[in-house]
Chains A and B, each alone.
Chain A
Amino acid sequence: MFPEYDVIVVGGGHAGCEAAVAAANMGSKVLLATMNMNTIAQMSCNPAMGGIAKGQIVREIDAMNGYSGIVTDHTMIQFRMLNLSKGPAMWSPRAQSDRMEFAGKWREMLEQNLNIDFWQEMVTGIIVKDSRACGIYTSLGLEIPSKSVVLTNGTFLNGLIHIGNKKFGGGRAGEKAAKGITEQLRELGFESGRMKTGTPPRVDGRSLHWDRMDVQPGDENPGRFSYTDTPALTEQRPCHVTYTSPEVHAELEKGFKDSPMFNGRIQGIGPRYCPSIEDKINRFAERDRHQLFIEPEGRTTCEIYVNGFSSSLPENVQYNALKKIVGFEDVKMFRPGYAIEYDYFPPQQLQLSLETKLIQNLFFAGQINGTTGYEEAAGQGLMAGINAHLKINEEDPFILNRYDAYIGVLIDDLVNKGTQEPYRMFTSRAEFRILLRQDNADIRLSQKVADLGMKNMDHRIEMVNEKSEAIKGIESFANQFSVEPGLINPYLETIGSTPLRQKIKLSTLILRPNVSFEAIKTYLPPLNEFLQQFDGEKISSAEIEMKYSGYIGKEKEQADKLKRLEKVVLGPTMDYGRITSLSSEAREKLNQIKPMNIGQASRISGVSPADVSVLLVHMGR
């Protein structure tokens, strides 16, 4: 009934979809196995993509030919570039999506890829022979053979949903939990743990008093995620902002005795940065209000997502509290919020390729690794898909470094440090964040995947080259072009910048704060004329490279130091137990993680600089 697939992807969420297309576009024959084909690429929680640090990840996925950015561009109903006042490394794109269109577009794009087959059924286990994954077992008792398996089970593994005192098995509202995989993996020697996350209630937009809330519109000139020519967003839907109040808090507190969070029924660890509303009230009792973002779930639907009101209190408590919120006085609820516990596998059990150390050709991506967020999941999915393909073709794994991409930081953190709570990306986790900007993900990454043999990269590479050329061209123009004081001083005075006394090079002038090509070009006709050949993004990228070259250079230097340490290869067969001069903690951790090189070893928690010296000595020859 089935051919032997190259890659079977288990799960059709953000990780699974990206894994499937990545492997398929590398040339593998892929089977996407999911319990329900109607919920492929569901946005189970927030109907939004991107945000701070996450937007950068989506840009990186797009630069590597993943589809998350393209799908978002096609289906978004609002776009904002966050953090515009914080400096270019912090600019972060974020979009509100039409949840149903998003899922529909993803499925359409998957279906268009002839390398991808589909199978709708619960996967109950992995066929393992000689410590190698070679297919899956399904609930109908089928065996589907493959050369590799990528697990992207999300919250489905023994998922347990809590609403007040009620609890029931499920992977998501209205969907069954997945059984069997955790149990089998534990038998194979994997360690597993429990995590917890939650989601807010969905309400009926027709019942809300919009005029009582503040409006939060999208950007006037909305941008997009993909570096390709996706359609521009023309019509946007706004979000709204309202607040909780002491009255709301009082209603919620009535249900605290029935809260599974507070009475200990929930064992899993939840994310500190995404607490439930009851948790916020409890921990920050001094605050008499909390902000809520009221987000539309789509362009045409009246379904509304109450961002900031995640809760696992009894449904009537949620309802009574909602009614006290300004604008929600006559609210009708579609469904209550809930908390969900699920199994994950501590990610120190993975290699940097996302292949498990115990079972060859078995890869994990997404929440199964203890992360949270669509973007984090999608990024891992893409990497797992590429690496599954490379592994079965006996090629070296594709590893992104911390100075290459946020996705590199993400996987490096997971594998070397593990995580105590659902892991979310923050820009502060990236020590090279000045290098990892949303404006240069294509320059950083596209060539890398093209070199691996990823399909359909020609046009992207052409555009990347064009952009690099443009940046060089603008830089050399600025190095040669002298600015006349008489022409520019009127402008400098208006922004309170010291007037010029003599001619200076444009490349020097651009270093001043608040001076941009866009603003000064009207005063300098030759510049204006020169820039006309480039689009705004290229000019902006060139400006960033020039304006911040000092900082960029410093980070590059730091990155170079790390690169040198990464050249000292350690390899998976090292027995650290025999190096007695290592501290016992270091020996244990190194044997567990088996770092690929000294650079990676230096980032494992418990490995001190002295241990690194000892390793260097041992690898010295």
Chain B
Amino acid sequence: MSYEIYNTIVAIATPPGEGALGIIRLSGSEAIAIVNRLFPRKNLLHQSSHSLHVGVIQSDEGQIIDEVVVSLFKGPNSYTGEDIVEISCHGSSYIIQRIMEVCLQGGARHAKAGEFTMRAFLNGKMDLSQAEAVADLIASESHGAHELAMKQMRGGFSKEINHLRNELIRFASLIELELDFSEEDVEFANRQELKDLIHELLTYIYRLKDSFSLGNVIKNGVATAIVGRPNAGKSTLLNAILKEDRAIVSEIAGTTRDTIESSIAIGGVKFRLIDTAGVRETEDVIEKIGVERTIKELDSSALLLYLFDVSQMEPADVHADLEQYNLLGKNLIVVANKMDLYPTRPLDIYYYPSYVDKKNLVSLSALNEMNIIHLQDVMVEQALNHSASREDAIVTNSRHYEALSETADHLQKALENMEAGITGDFLAMDIRYALHALGSITGEVTTDDLLDNIFSSFCIGK
């Protein structure tokens, strides 16, 4: 409805991609208070302008996110003319995103394109002659931002969001119908039907949020399953990547009976590594459960590390395995292990099928931690290419995530209010806020949209 120019905004100030440092910048009257609540070490409200403070950023639940340096610039002597806080953290996109998240939870909102510059201008920090340049910047960055965002979304997401929008409009129409057209001879939805509808909508939104591949990357890391025949060295590789003895390693095939999960940040990308039980026919009951779980894990992972033992496997076996894993449709990295045992074996004898990208071939020795860094580079590259986790996309997408969460919050509120027996006019307010939140992805939903829906669905008119 209205363009809000007065609340506190937050954005990532460092350029997209990996760097040693990341900077998150907040501007607005609440900037210092918001960061202060995340910064237990000292009270930032009592510090002077242009000062630096070392400490940690901590989430609401008390989890430490990173050690940071906080810089304070109090208005009007700052870039925007408002209070500005800059948080310098380590340059992992995961950490940066987490800090963004807690700032958003704390009451800041995502800055729109060019908004810092705009505020600087509005607060008299820039020359009038720069107005047109600033305006051009904003215009070029945010005109059609919504269309751009929709294009960036992959696969069926935009379809799903549109479906959600239509369902919400339908729901809002039902509420408005009984307010504006209570005198009409149409059938109104009863409260239970409305509740069921909200439940459906909520389930839908939660599913959408979960299916948000990038949201998952940010929150949970790239799910990476290490697969291969028994005793290919999967657990050893996991340990090598993690540099700790996370998995029990032994020389008996079938040692790993369960899937083992560990998280690690490599090059700023968080990976959730899943060491799977070796896939093979087995009569061992415990191991059998493990194998079933493996298949499940494979299904939910985004990246497969297929590992084979160069000393044991014939090219035809590898080929057969790859055929099988390829059916899963995941990104595949092929790792030839135990090169130390067979250092001269020419890898081209494995004549990999065309669907395996040459760049995704790695030969290493997990036991001697030889060439592990190469594998890590390939993993990061894969994750960045395929999960669209470049910085701009992350921002766009986490905005969507935020919008969805906010939509869900308002619907949840509506549901509670409905339970409490609140009347339709107030219920409609919650629904309007929900529509408004979703509007940041789908474009604004107007009264005319609701009325159009009502007039096309119901016979109105005495």
Contacts and interface: CB of A to CB of B under 8 A. Distances in A.
B180 interface: yes
Contacts of A562: 1-2
A617 B118 contact: yes
Interface string B111-147: 0111100100110100010011011101110110100
A452 interface: no
Given A52-B183, A426-B180, A561 B138 contact: no
B220 interface: no
Given A87-B423, A88-B425, A613-B3, A272 B455 contact: yes
A165 to B, nearest CB: 24
B447 A614 contact: no
Interface string A330-347: 000000000000000000
Contacts of B18: none
Given A273-B461, A290-B459, A428 B450 contact: yes
Nearest to B137: A581
Contact of A86 (B138, B179, B461): B179
Contact of B136 (A293, A426, A564, A581): A581
A618 interface: yes
A608 B451 contact: no
Given A86-B423, A513-B421, A581-B135, A613 B182 contact: no
Interface string A484-496: 0000000000000
Contact of A561 (B4, B140, B426, B447): B4
Contacts, number: 159
A273 B134 CA distance: 46
Given A90-B423, A581-B138, A613 B118 contact: yes
A610 B422 contact: no
Interface in A275-324: 275, 280, 283-284, 287, 290-293, 307-308, 310
A304 to B, nearest CB: 14
B176 interface: yes
B459 A609 contact: no
A272 B420 contact: no
A431 interface: yes
B432 interface: yes
A610 B139 contact: yes
Interface in B9-66: none
B422 A613 contact: no
B139 A433 contact: no
A602 B3 contact: yes
A565 B3 contact: yes
Contact of B143 (A514, A602, A608): A608
A52 B115 contact: no
A86 B424 contact: yes
A51 B183 contact: yes
A434 interface: yes
B59 to A, nearest CB: 28
A188 to B, nearest CB: 31
Contacts of B143: 583, 608, 610
Interface in A43-72: 51-53
B421 A609 contact: no
A561 B6 contact: yes
A89 B2 contact: no
A52 B184 CA distance: 11
Interface string B400-432: 000000000000000000001111111011001
Contact of B429 (A53, A434, A579, A599): A434
Nearest to A89: B425
Interface residues on A, range: 35 or more
A87 B426 contact: yes
Interface string B76-93: 000000000000000000
B425 A609 contact: no
B243 interface: no
Given A52-B183, A565-B2, A616-B5, A293 B462 contact: yes
A459 interface: no
A283 B459 CA distance: 8
Contacts of A87: 422-426
Given A52-B183, A308-B462, A561-B4, A433 B131 contact: no
Given A86-B425, A308-B461, A561-B4, A581 B179 contact: no
A582 interface: yes
Nearest to B460: A273
A52 B182 contact: yes
B178 interface: yes
Interface in B257-278: none
A429 B432 CA distance: 12
Contacts of B460: 272-273, 275
A290 B458 CA distance: 12
B185 interface: yes
A554 B429 contact: yes
Contacts of A617: 118, 121-122, 131, 134-135, 138
Contact of A513 (B1, B118, B422): B422
A492 to B, nearest CB: 15
B451 A428 contact: yes
A291 B426 contact: no
Contacts of A565: 2-3, 5
Given A610-B138, A617-B131, A273 B4 contact: no
A438 to B, nearest CB: 12
Contact of A610 (B145, B180, B423, B447): B145
Contacts of A428: 176, 179-180, 428, 447, 450-451
B6 A434 contact: no
Nearest to B126: A620
B176 to A, nearest CB: 5
Contacts of A272: 455, 460-461
A275 B461 contact: yes
B330 to A, nearest CB: 39
Interface string A578-590: 0111110000000
A83 B179 contact: yes
A274 B461 CA distance: 4
B435 to A, nearest CB: 11
Given A551-B426, A582-B139, A612 B6 contact: no
B421 A82 contact: no
Nearest to B172: A428
B461 A90 contact: no
A558 interface: yes
A351 interface: no
Given A87-B426, A616-B122, A273 B179 contact: no
Given A431-B432, A616-B5, A579 B135 contact: yes
Contacts of A579: 135
Contacts of B184: 291
Given A87-B425, A88-B425, A426-B451, A53 B180 contact: yes
Interface string B172-198: 000010111111110000000000000
A621 interface: yes
Given A86-B425, A87-B425, A613-B138, A561 B2 contact: yes
A369 interface: no
Contacts of A53: 180
B78 to A, nearest CB: 17
A614 B422 CA distance: 41
A513 B138 contact: no
A308 B135 CA distance: 53
Given A86-B182, A428-B176, A428-B451, 14 more contacts: A87-B422, A274-B462, A280-B461, A426-B176, A426-B180, A428-B447, A429-B447, A551-B426, A561-B4, A609-B3, A610-B113, A613-B114, A613-B115, A621-B128
Interface of A: 51-53, 82-83, 85-90, 271-275, 280, 283-284, 287, 290-293, 307-308, 310, 426-429, 431, 433-434, 513-514, 548, 551, 554-555, 558, 561-562, 564-565, 579-583, 599, 602, 608-614, 616-618, 620-621
14 contacts: A83-B182, A86-B425, A90-B179, A272-B460, A273-B461, A274-B462, A426-B176, A554-B429, A558-B2, A562-B2, A581-B139, A613-B115, A614-B135, A618-B131
